[in-house]
Amino acid sequence: QVQLVESGGGVVQPGGSLRLSCAASGFTFRNYGAHWVRQAPGKGLEWVAFIRYDESDKYYADSVKGRFIISRDNSKNMLFLQMNSLRPEDTAVYYCAKNLAYYYLDVWGKGTTVTVSS
């Protein structure tokens, strides 16, 4: 079945870095764009980044622009989020999501938790 599984979350100090991964299965990953979305504890959803199926376009939320980098490896069906200069306000559950018809997020992973704290 169509599935996304995130990994790489953990506890990191402010200013540190972390790389999240998302393994895709059950569909032709290279044909679809993908997103990262996060949810701070007790808060709502916040869109973080998008990458087109062929990496030709990458877009970021203002809150992470210049610090986070989205990338993918279509040969391995993997999506990544490199997070640098982490701040306490980056603490959240991070979800990867598959793109539907460019504008929608139709399949979501279960999320991985990132905690930024000293």
Partner 1 sequence: QSALTQPASVSGSPGQSITISCTGTSSDIGDYKFVSWYQQHPGKAPKLMIYDVSKRPSGVSNRFSGSKSGNTASLTISGLQAEDEADYYCNSYTTSSTPHWVFGGGTKLTVL
Which chain residues interact with partner 1 by CB under 8 A? Answer: 35, 37, 44-47, 50, 57, 59-63, 95, 100-101, 103-106, 108-111
Whether 65 and 94 have beta carbons less than 8 Å apart is answered as no
Which residue do the tokens 């990867």 mark? Answer: 96
Residue 97 Cβ, how far from partner 1 at the closest point, in Å? 8
Would you state the structure tokens that stand for residue 29, as one six-digit string? 């990953």
Q: Which residues, 6 or more positions from 6, have their beta carbon under 8 angstroms from its beta carbon?
A: 20, 21, 22, 94, 95, 96, 109, 110, 111, 112
Single-letter code of the amino acid located at 98: K
Residue (76 or 110) nearer to partner 1, CB: 110
- For residue 57, give Cα distances in angstroms to 27, 51, 71: 21, 6, 10
Residue 48 Cβ, how far from partner 1 at the closest point, in Å? 9
Residue 54 Cβ, how far from partner 1 at the closest point, in Å? 16
Residue (29 or 95) nearer to partner 1, CB: 95
Residue 23 Cβ, how far from partner 1 at the closest point, in Å? 15
Residue (101 or 118) nearer to partner 1, CB: 101
Residue (16 or 59) nearer to partner 1, CB: 59
